[in-house]
Structure 1
Amino acid sequence: MTKQTALIQMHIAAILFGVSGIFGNLIASDSFVISMGRSIFAIFAMTLLSLHFRYIPWRIPLKTFYTLVIAGILLAAHWVTFFYAIKVGNVAMATLGFACFPACVALFEMLFFKDKITNVEYCLLLCVSIGLIMVTPSFDLSNGGTLGLLWGIASGILYGASVVVNRYNLKSTTGVQICWWQCTVVLIILLPFTITSIPSISKMDWLWIACLGLLCTGLSYYLFISSLTAINAKTASIIIALEPVYAIFGAWILFSEQPSIRTIIGGVVIILAVAWAGLQKQTNNTTKPVIE
């Protein structure tokens, strides 16, 4: 694979990660149903990837299984809160709130691994905090945009926690195995809460849910990891940081969710901070990413 092809694939992966919020907005079902359905198609996609890469997804050490269950619970909570953020707010607020997760990873690594926070991470925490304050529509919890942002932040915190938990698994399992197990746990957890709703899911909802699982999970993940054979992880982290840009632009075009100048400036602060931090620090989590 050439570097140019890899860069194109990485941008496509970032777009697919970003449009997950757009699909979430198109689906009429609630966030529990969306997350459950996504896990079904994601498991199918990850099984195909396992066959492609000649992995046996369920063959993992017992110790790793326990941490993957915890990571799967966190992923389920992340998906549910993210899609709920879109339902109560909008794509821009949910996505920008979720974009705080790299700062959350730094905090969790300090708390659980006793890692020292570097100057780069201090700057990241400060810039993300400033950006989130700037994009807040109103400091009133009755405001839908504010609620969407708060739920988006909660989603980012949960995803950051899952990334840190998966730090235990990276040495003994592949990224595809991690994703396969996490999606399986998500399905097991959410199915009891959604099984009565399955007959009422419309055909269009199933179509968009399939797109979430197959395109925004399976295809995006495949493009991501295959691109890493030709470009380095720092370059990948910068491109993936553009995910909110693609999501907000898509929502603007499709749903007329025009962001305010304040939202744009705050979003730029967050995105630039995440991209700059990715340039300064390369982690194992980038080379073996966990599912979004």
Structure 2
Amino acid sequence: MNSRQAQVAIHITAVLFGLTGIFGELIQGSATLITAGRAAFATVTLLLFIGHAGHRIQWPARSAWGALILAGTLLAIHWATFFVAVKIGGIAIATLGFASFPAFITLLEGFLFHERTRPSEWLVVILVTLGLVLVTPSFNFQDKATTGLAWAVLSGLTFALFTLANRKAVTGMSGRELACWENAVVAALTLPWCFTEFAALRPIDWLWVFTLGVFCTALSHSLLVSSLAKLKARTAGIVIALEPVYAILFAAILFAQYPSMRALLGGALIVGAIVWSGLQRPNAKTGTGDRTAPRR
């Protein structure tokens, strides 16, 4: 893959990430079912990708299982809460609420790792917070959209924790292998809670779950990993920050879900803050590579 192909790949990745909420809306099933099906199909697909590349997947060392289970648990909660947000609040609200995760990463890095937070990073936190205030339909949790936004912010928080957990995750594993094992943990954790629900799925729902797991999870991660061989992680992050834009566009076209002007302004603040943050000079704590890049 050359640099031009890597640029195309990372934009395809952002589009696939943006489609995640669309499938959450389309699939007639619980958030747990969607999470379990997505993880199961992603695990099988990643195993096939790894095998096709001529590699043998490593069985993690006993000492690595604690980190894998922690990361997989956080990923399962992140996905499940995101799909609850989609079901309750709609695609735009869910995606914009989730987009708050960079602010949580900034706050948690300082708290958990005792790392100095730069003034520019505090500015991102402030802008994201203002954006969330504007996105909030009302400050009444009887409002479904507000409840959906709360679930979406919880999804952003757990994704931030998942991202930080990956900083301490298994070493000596490729990004695809790590993603494969984490998806396997998600499937193992969620399938027992919704196994009987799969029998009631319509054929079209099976297709949507398959597409979500194969294309929006396994393929998108593989494209992200491949593009990072030619692109800087912060460059990839800027493109991935466009996910809410794609999600809102798809929701408007497919479901006629149009956010209010106030929500759009809040979304512009959130996305703009993330993009601006990505344009800043990286410091030692951010690193590069597929472990630190955004991954859905």
Distance 1:128 1:222, change over 3 A: same
Q: Is structure 2 residue 70 aligned with structure 1 residue 67? A: no
What SS is found at the alignment partner of 1:267?
helix
Aligned partner of 2:76 in structure 1 is 76
The alpha-carbon deviation at position 124 of structure 1 amounts to 1.1
Per mean C-alpha deviation after superposition, the further-off stretch among 153-162 and 51-60 is 51-60
What SS is found at the alignment partner of 2:229?
coil
How does 1:1-12 map onto structure 2 within 5 Å?
1-12=1-12
Q: Is structure 2 residue 238 aligned with structure 1 residue 238? A: yes
Distance 1:150 1:218, change over 3 A: same
Any gaps of 5 or more consecutive residues in structure 2?
A: none
Query: Could you tell me how far apart the structure 1 residues matched to 2:42 and 2:261 are?
Result: 36
The alpha-carbon deviation at position 6 of structure 1 amounts to 1.5
Query: Identity over aligned residues, as a percent?
Result: 39
Q: Is structure 2 residue 174 aligned with structure 1 residue 174? A: yes
The superposition leaves residues 198-226 of structure 1 with CA deviations (integer Å, 9 ceiling, x where unpaired) of 21111111110011100101111111111
Amino acid at match of 1:287: D
Aligned partner of 1:85 in structure 2 is 85
Q: Is the 8 A contact 1:6 1:230 kept in 2?
A: yes
Aligned partner of 1:122 in structure 2 is 122
Aligned partner of 2:147 in structure 1 is 147
Per mean C-alpha deviation after superposition, the further-off stretch among 275-284 and 179-188 is 275-284
Amino acid at match of 1:74: L
Q: Is the 8 A contact 2:43 2:180 kept in 1?
A: yes
The alpha-carbon deviation at position 291 of structure 1 amounts to 4.1
Per mean C-alpha deviation after superposition, the further-off stretch among 65-74 and 228-237 is 228-237
Query: Could you tell me how far apart the structure 2 residues matched to 1:11 and 1:126 are?
Result: 28
CA RMSD of aligned residues (A): 1.6
Structure 2-normalised TM-score? Answer: 0.94
Query: Could you tell me how far apart the structure 1 residues matched to 2:62 and 2:277 are?
Result: 34
Aligned partner of 1:158 in structure 2 is 158
Q: Is the 8 A contact 2:67 2:170 kept in 1?
A: no
Aligned partner of 1:183 in structure 2 is 183
* Matched positions, count: 292
Q: Is the 8 A contact 1:84 1:151 kept in 2?
A: yes
The superposition leaves residues 174-204 of structure 1 with CA deviations (integer Å, 9 ceiling, x where unpaired) of 2112211111111111111111212111111
Q: Is the 8 A contact 2:11 2:239 kept in 1?
A: yes
Query: Could you tell me how far apart the structure 2 residues matched to 1:233 and 1:291 are?
Result: 11
How does 1:30-49 map onto structure 2 within 5 Å?
30-49=30-49
Distance 1:291 1:238, change over 3 A: closer
Aligned partner of 2:101 in structure 1 is 101
Q: Is the 8 A contact 1:179 1:291 kept in 2?
A: no
Query: Could you tell me how far apart the structure 1 residues matched to 2:294 and 2:61 are?
Result: 18
Q: Is the 8 A contact 1:237 1:279 kept in 2?
A: no
Query: Could you tell me how far apart the structure 1 residues matched to 2:257 and 2:218 are?
Result: 27
The superposition leaves residues 159-184 of structure 1 with CA deviations (integer Å, 9 ceiling, x where unpaired) of 11011111112643221122111111
Any gaps of 5 or more consecutive residues in structure 1?
A: none
Structure 1-normalised TM-score? Answer: 0.95
The superposition leaves residues 226-281 of structure 1 with CA deviations (integer Å, 9 ceiling, x where unpaired) of 11222222221110000110001100100000111111111011001111112223
The alpha-carbon deviation at position 4 of structure 1 amounts to 2.2
Q: Is structure 2 residue 284 aligned with structure 1 residue 284? A: no
Q: Is structure 2 residue 138 aligned with structure 1 residue 135? A: no
Query: Could you tell me how far apart the structure 2 residues matched to 1:264 and 1:145 are?
Result: 15
The alpha-carbon deviation at position 290 of structure 1 amounts to 6.6
